[in-house]
Amino acid sequence: MRKLLNWLNVRDYADAKQRSATNIVGRYARGNVSIQNGWFLDRSGLDALSASGDRAIASLKKHQSA
Partner 1 sequence: MLDSLHAHSVLLSKICEEWNKAEADIKLAEQVCDQVVIPSIMELRYAGRRLMQAMEKIARGDGAGEADALLQDACFDCHRARHDAIDAATAQISVTLKEAVIRLKHEAVLQSFPKYSALMHALQTVRTNIVVSRASQEKREALYEVVEGSHFPDLVNLFREFQTSEATMVAIAGRQRRERFLNRFALVVAVIGLLVTVYFECRPKSDQNDLHTTATTQQAASTAPPSPPLSSLPVRPSAVPRATTARSP
Contact footprint for partner 1 (CB under 8 A): 7-10, 12-13, 16-17, 20-22, 24-25, 27-30, 32, 35, 40, 42-43
> Which helix (DSSP H) or strand (DSSP E) does residue 41 occupy?
none
Looking at the Cβ atoms of 18 and 59, the one nearer to partner 1 is: 18
The phi-psi region of residue 10 (left if phi > 0; otherwise alpha if psi is between -120 and 50; otherwise beta) is: left
Looking at the Cβ atoms of 43 and 63, the one nearer to partner 1 is: 43
Written as one letter, the residue type at 66 is A
Beta carbon of residue 40, minimum distance to partner 1 (angstroms, whole number) = 5
Looking at the Cβ atoms of 47 and 54, the one nearer to partner 1 is: 47
